[in-house]
């Protein structure tokens, strides 16, 4: 049977948070949308703030023009040179009745001999010190205020003077000849302007928060819709990797993830069929051969390889066969071959075939191994120990009595080992083939196994194998001599272990 892979850890847990696709796509989606709504919020704030200030400026212009239109030019002209004139007090009382709490001051300014200076005629202030009649006001650099003698205007920005930071609008009072007599100014304190801006800011922030929460919720939904099918596929593929080929997704989705799940299920079905073939195939040929054939395909032909061939056969098998009933003979054969297979697998050898009670195995093919001679010798030593255990079990169960009565005291086998070049590949026909090892190396290993009969030995190997063994294994060998090998002209130097 082919070995199964070791269990895998949860693949999702192996990923850091930033490596997970659903988190990255969610973060990207959220980041883009957050940037967009933040830019939109900033733009909205600027537009709303500008519009709020423009609306306030318009209201102030209307208010300044209303007060300017309400002043009689004749009365004003008569009172200009008389600061105690009743007109000034009437205007002050009129300004004091203003109901708009945002208006901080209303004043009337006159021209002065100094072009840069203006003179207070009336100054009403809600919560601050008023300018005294005749007091001069420095209007240097205040172009909008100078324009206020000719048209209704407002300051582009807030201005700071001795009375603090304020936002102002102006409107002219024209005489009978349409010449400017004075200007009426209306101020709003900076704190009131900022309060309006703060109100706009809070509305913008609230809108941004609503948008952010909406985006976060949408990102969570999108992330979940991506995460769940991805997690299912990852978990399913992990179970497939662990050998659970009955894993299916059975998705009911109709989107791309559903299509992927359907293809996954079809793939899993194909892998399950392939695994059945692999498992079944692996019981008839060596696992290495099965993997190679499944990976490369079954094609006739082979290639020269450097290998060590091990050939083993039970002694007196015919006698033991006569002594055992058929069912017990099959059980004994399977037990023996199974134990020998354990030794071969432990050294990663390949069983080419079972020939009744005989075994032909190779080391170094189909997977190359630099130390294949040592693997073969270690395998032979392990076979000896496993066969001794099998004899002990047969003695304990009483089964050995059947072949002892036939003259076979203990089960024993003969082993032949030789290293050299061989041809490894598929032989047979286009419809029926098998993996085989061919060449003189195989023949010599088989002949060495037979020579054990003549020399009363159990394991014989060639000098070609000994020359490539590590010191600790070579030290266990005893020379037998240079012996002729049936079917071969050149004799072979033989050693036992």
Fold type of domain 83-191: Beta-Lactamase (3.30.450)
Residues 71-87 pLDDT 10s: 888 888 888 877 788 88
How far is 216 from 220, CA to CA, in rounded Å?
Answer: 6
pLDDT-derived band at 1, boundaries 50, 70, 90: very low
Tokens representing 494 are 């033989």
Please report, for residues 6, 124, 391, 410, 439, the alpha-carbon distance to residue 335 in angstroms, rounded to integers and kept in the order given.
Answer: 27, 119, 11, 15, 30
- For the chain, give the percent of residues with pLDDT over 90: 28
pLDDT-derived band at 219, boundaries 50, 70, 90: low
Sign of CA dihedral 271, 274, 279, 285: negative
pLDDT-derived band at 447, boundaries 50, 70, 90: very high
Task: Please state the domain extents for the chain.
Answer: 83-191, 299-496
What is residue 294's predicted lDDT score, i.e. its pLDDT? 58
What is residue 474's predicted lDDT score, i.e. its pLDDT? 94
- For the chain, give the percent of residues with pLDDT over 70: 82
The pLDDT mean for the chain works out to 81
The set of residues, in sequence order, having a beta carbon less than 8 Å from that of 55 and lying 6+ positions away, is: none
What is residue 42's predicted lDDT score, i.e. its pLDDT? 75
Residues 311-332 pLDDT 10s: 999 998 888 888 888 888 888 8
pLDDT-derived band at 347, boundaries 50, 70, 90: very high
**Does the pLDDT of residue 93 top 80, yes or no?**
yes
The set of residues, in sequence order, having a beta carbon less than 8 Å from that of 268 and lying 6+ positions away, is: 236, 240, 245, 246, 247, 248
Distance of CA 122 to the CA centre of its chain: 76
Average pLDDT for 189-200: 64
**Is-above-0.75 flag for pTM?**
no
Average pLDDT for 42-65: 78
What is residue 38's predicted lDDT score, i.e. its pLDDT? 75
Distance of CA 15 to the CA centre of its chain: 6
Residues 140-181 pLDDT 10s: 888 888 888 889 998 888 777 776 777 888 999 988 788 888
pLDDT-derived band at 25, boundaries 50, 70, 90: low
What is residue 482's predicted lDDT score, i.e. its pLDDT? 92
Average pLDDT for 215-230: 70
CATH number of this structure's domain 299-496? 3.30.70.1230
What is residue 393's predicted lDDT score, i.e. its pLDDT? 92
81 vs 27, which has greater pLDDT?
81
Average pLDDT for 190-210: 69
What is residue 3's predicted lDDT score, i.e. its pLDDT? 45
Residues 274-309 pLDDT 10s: 766 566 555 545 555 566 555 555 567 788 999 999
How far is 449 from 357, CA to CA, in rounded Å?
Answer: 13
């Amino acid at each position: 049977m082919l070995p199964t892979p070791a269990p895998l850890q949860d693949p999702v847990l192996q990923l850091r948070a930033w490596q997970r696709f659903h988190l990255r796509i969610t973060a990207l989606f959220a980041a883009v949308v957050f940037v967009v709504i933040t830019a939109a919020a900033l733009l909205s704030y600027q537009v709303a703030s500008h519009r709020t200030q423009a609306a306030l400026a318009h209201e102030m212009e209307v208010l300044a023009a209303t007060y300017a239109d309400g002043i009689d030019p004749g009365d004003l002209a008569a009172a200009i040179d008389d600061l105690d004139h009743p007109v000034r007090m009437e205007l002050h009382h009129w300004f004091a009745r203003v109901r708009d709490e945002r208006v901080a001051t209303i004043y009337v300014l006159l021209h002065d001999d100094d072009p840069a200076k203006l003179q207070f005629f009336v100054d009403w202030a809600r919560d601050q010190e008023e300018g005294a009649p005749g007091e001069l006001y420095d209007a240097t650099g205040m172009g909008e205020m100078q324009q206020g003698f000719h048209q209704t205007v407002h300051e582009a920005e807030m201005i700071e003077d001795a009375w603090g930071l304020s936002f102002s609008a102006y409107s002219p009072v024209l005489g009978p000849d349409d010449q400017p007599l004075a200007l009426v100014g209306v101020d709003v304190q900076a704190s009131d302007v900022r309060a309006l801006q703060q109100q706009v800011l809070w509305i913008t922030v609230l809108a941004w928060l609503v948008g952010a929460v909406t985006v976060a919720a949408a990102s969570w939904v999108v992330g979940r819709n991506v995460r769940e099918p991805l997690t299912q596929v990852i978990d399913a593929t992990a179970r497939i990797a662990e050998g659970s080929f009955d894993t299916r997704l059975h998705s009911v989705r109709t989107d791309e993830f559903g299509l992927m799940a359907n293809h996954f299920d079809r793939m899993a079905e194909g892998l399950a069929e392939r695994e059945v073939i692999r498992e079944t195939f692996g019981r008839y040929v060596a696992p290495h051969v099965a993997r190679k054939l499944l990976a490369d395909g079954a094609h006739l032909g082979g290639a020269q390889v450097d290998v060590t061939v091990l050939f083993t056969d039970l002694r007196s098998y015919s006698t033991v066969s006569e002594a055992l009933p058929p069912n017990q003979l099959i059980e004994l054969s399977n037990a023996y071959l199974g134990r020998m297979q354990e030794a071969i697998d432990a050294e990663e050898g390949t069983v080419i075939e079972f020939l009744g009670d005989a075994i032909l195995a190779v080391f170094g093919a189909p997977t190359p191994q630099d130390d294949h001679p040592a693997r073969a010798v270690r395998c032979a030593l392990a076979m000896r120990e496993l066969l001794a255990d099998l004899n002990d079990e047969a003695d304990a169960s009483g089964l050995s009595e059947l072949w002892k009565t036939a003259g076979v005291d203990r089960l024993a086998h003969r082993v032949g080992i030789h290293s050299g070049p061989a041809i490894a590949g598929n032989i047979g026909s286009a419809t029926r083939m098998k993996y085989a090892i061919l060449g003189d190396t195989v023949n010599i290993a088989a002949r060495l196994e037979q020579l054990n009969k003549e020399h009363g030995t159990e394991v014989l190997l060639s000098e070609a194998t000994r020359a490539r063994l590590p010191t600790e294994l070579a030290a266990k060998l005893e020379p037998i001599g240079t012996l002729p090998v049936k079917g071969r002209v050149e004799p072979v130097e033989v050693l036992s272990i």
